[in-house]
A and B are shown apart, each in its own frame.
Chain A
């Protein structure tokens, strides 16, 4: 357990070395090797108590930096994945839009739950509507999702079932 904690923290400690905390790293590394050896033979309670005291101190110093600097969102579209060589869908698109089988994409209006107190009733009603995307947006969203999201689904009691096909469409 302590070994996994240290493995997780080693990822966080690497950028700290840029700030010049080599002394901490030097003190940490012998403990890593001793921990690994100990973990290999038998887990001793003394080892578990010694390591976390140092690590919780480090965690307190590191936690304010974690969300903003370390974890940047990845927005790229993966054309060929590393493991399977397949195309991947962009998750943000799947979480925000609905694709109808006829090719239309449905979305919510931006700001439909924000600052409603200052919006008129008509404006709130307009924002509550579900709207379609235009042709360029649909083409973009089609490129960002795989064919799985374009398949026909037969859900039970689907509120969007009757919109999956176009009716009375004149070209």
Chain B
């Protein structure tokens, strides 16, 4: 069949025989463009052009926003109160619901066979973190705790009790850990940092405000005593009425138990190492003082 016998061929022939498209041939759809109102161009030299009659309004001399003619304005008569005091120093934690996490796992965007970290969640675009807006990580909230059914090794920054219970009920492990802003920026965008050629910094420990949170076993803090964490797991199971599945007999037990060192940002990379992305090499420090500074951590 030659091209001209098909419908597409016939339309191409028609279009070929049409005159060339120029500005003279083009016109917007009827109703697409509405004529602009030209103020002040009416009969007898135009009217008031929508400015009103005399006074400050017509003459364009109205006072500033909020001015009330000299009376102390509303926004000044109200007394000051520290609603927004130190707002730029308050840590923020965008929420991650268990429902969303289940959705991501079901769609295959995040792999439950590997430890789920903030890096993994940002890679799959599951969460949006803005470290420059004082985001210190994510918080796990209990929306979707009833439908959550995935066995994961989860690391978040803040978690609610019901969410911890939901994760542990399914045989998972949850840890809350602290990342200072610089480490957080590196964690969420590892590639630009590794391309820069700086040595991986050591993660700072939490400040005095957040230290009690991360040393508490009931929050599964990364600085808490492991025995107390185990006791807290049992206590939580009693509270919510489920039995903790024995994960020591799991195939993926080693993966589930894998945890980062308090000074480590990435799994498998120690602070102080320099990653050469171009040559695919890792350079490790050998000087004693440097090793002492970075904590003498062997390959973790």
Chain A interface (Cβ within 8 Å of chain B)?
75-77, 90, 92-98, 106-108, 110-113, 137, 140-141, 143-144, 149, 151, 153-156
Please pick, from B65, B84, B94, B139, the residue contacting A94 in the complex, using a CB distance under 8 A: B84
* Inter-chain contact B92/A153, CB cutoff 8 Å: yes
Residue of A nearest to B135 (CB): A154
Please pick, from A75, A110, A111, the residue contacting B64 in the complex, using a CB distance under 8 A: A75
B137 to chain A, nearest CB (A): 11
Chain B interface (Cβ within 8 Å of chain A)?
64-67, 74-81, 83-84, 87, 90-95, 133, 135, 139, 158
Chain A residues, Cβ within 8 Å of B75: 90, 92-93, 96-97, 140-141, 144
Find the residue from A96, A110, A149 having the highest chain B CB count within 10 A.
Answer: A96
A-B contacts at CB below 8 angstroms, number: 68
Residue of B nearest to A74 (CB): B64
B129 to chain A, nearest CB (A): 11
A160 to chain B, nearest CB (A): 8
Bound Cα distance from A64 to B107, whole angstroms: 72
24 inter-chain pairs at a CB distance below 8 angstroms, sorted by A residue, are: A75-B64, A75-B67, A77-B65, A92-B76, A94-B84, A95-B80, A96-B78, A98-B84, A108-B78, A110-B77, A110-B79, A111-B79, A112-B79, A137-B74, A141-B75, A149-B84, A151-B133, A153-B92, A154-B92, A154-B95, A154-B135, A155-B90, A156-B92, A156-B93
A13 to chain B, nearest CB (A): 31
Given contacts A110-B77, A111-B79, A154-B94, 8 further A-B contacts (CB under 8 A): A107-B81, A108-B79, A143-B65, A154-B92, A155-B91, A155-B92, A156-B90, A156-B93
- The 3 A-B pairs of least Cβ separation, nearest first, read A98-B83, A154-B92, A108-B81
Bound Cα distance from A92 to B80, whole angstroms: 8
Chain A residues, Cβ within 8 Å of B77: 110
Bound Cα distance from A117 to B158, whole angstroms: 45
Bound Cα distance from A112 to B81, whole angstroms: 11
* Inter-chain contact B66/A75, CB cutoff 8 Å: yes
Chain A residues, Cβ within 8 Å of B64: 75-77
Residue of A nearest to B65 (CB): A77
Chain B residues, Cβ within 8 Å of A154: 92-95, 135, 139
Chain B residues, Cβ within 8 Å of A111: 79
Residue of A nearest to B77 (CB): A110
Chain A residues, Cβ within 8 Å of B92: 153-156
Bound Cα distance from A71 to B169, whole angstroms: 64
Residue of B nearest to A151 (CB): B133
